[in-house]
Amino acid sequence: MSRLTATFEKLKAENRAGFVPFVMGGDPGFDASLELIRALPGAGADIIEIGVPFTDPMADGPAIQLAGQRALDAGQTLPKTLDLVRSFREQDNETPLVLMGYYNPFYSYGPERFVKDAHDAGVDGLIIVDLPPEEDAEMCLPARAAGLDFIRLATPTTDDERLPAVLKNSSGFVYYVSVAGITGAKTGAAAAVSGAVERLQKASSLPVAVGFGIKTEERAAEIAREADAVVVGSALVDTLAKGLEKGHDHAIKQTVSLAEGLSRAIKTARKSG
């Protein structure tokens, strides 16, 4: 059983949603990034998304774009992101790790070589934002064959005609983007998100994680009452960025503190709701 499947089965048994923090790999530097990622399970992370920095992101808002640029300026690359995963796995062999990025770095690395190296490093799943289902042979199918889950995004504009293509060959979970826009934007209306989660849960046996625009404990709890997992990215990387004015240690402490609050809100949402 994969780490992602085991985690979602545990969450279901506990009748709670999972907390999925997103952080940019290599932001603000390799060592600080590793320290932050290692701290997240203790802060309540059930699954961790690690961003692969890219120069031309199309789905990322300002906070994550700046995080990617800080990481690139510090010398972060896709091979170094795999090094982050290997280093994390030296101390944690249970928390699922999902890499999220754009196809160009993976294509440049070489898809077949990458999926082998990623699996060997301890990566559990991939989200490649700009690789559509029509190109599954490029990366999705080799990844699945290598034992990696391939997670696809569904959005408010994914209609009934498009949904089967999105779900075909997807595994691990379905990532529902709550707004038709970039990360960090305003979250979709509660009723619309709830309806979308219900629609996806009926269309697939895969768990549904909701992300994009979830910044507060209150909003995270609201989503956690409906979805199988809640993804928070921009709020965390923005807190890290603001904390850097007082040094890496302060920035990591502030980011971990925010993660702890979000995790508590998500884990108690169904009991308090």
What is the DSSP pairing of strand 174-177 with strand 229-232?
unpaired
Q: Which one of 27, 46, 49, 228 is the catalytic residue? A: 49
Query: Does the annotation mark 83 as catalytic?
Result: no
What spatial distance separates the first Cα and last Cα of the chain, rounded to whole Å?
32
Tokens of 222: 């609201």
3-state secondary structure 100-132: EECHHHHHHHCHHHHHHHHHHHCCCEEEECCCC
Angle CA 24–42–36, to nearest 5: 30
Sign of the torsion angle spanned by Cα atoms 206, 100, 214, 11: positive
Number of H helices, E strands in the chain: 12, 9
SS3 88: helix
| Contacts of range 187-190, beta carbons closer than 8 Å, 24 or more positions apart | 187/212, 187/213, 187/214, 187/215, 187/219, 187/223, 188/156, 188/213, 190/222
Catalytic residue, candidates 60, 117, 124, 226: 60
On whether the CB atoms of residues 236 and 50 are closer than 8 A, the answer is no
Nearest-angstrom CA–CA distance, 158 and 164: 10
Catalytic status, residue 60: yes
* Residue ranges with strand state E in the chain: 18-24, 48-51, 97-101, 125-128, 149-150, 153-154, 174-177, 208-211, 229-232
Task: Name the residues annotated as catalytic.
Answer: 49, 60
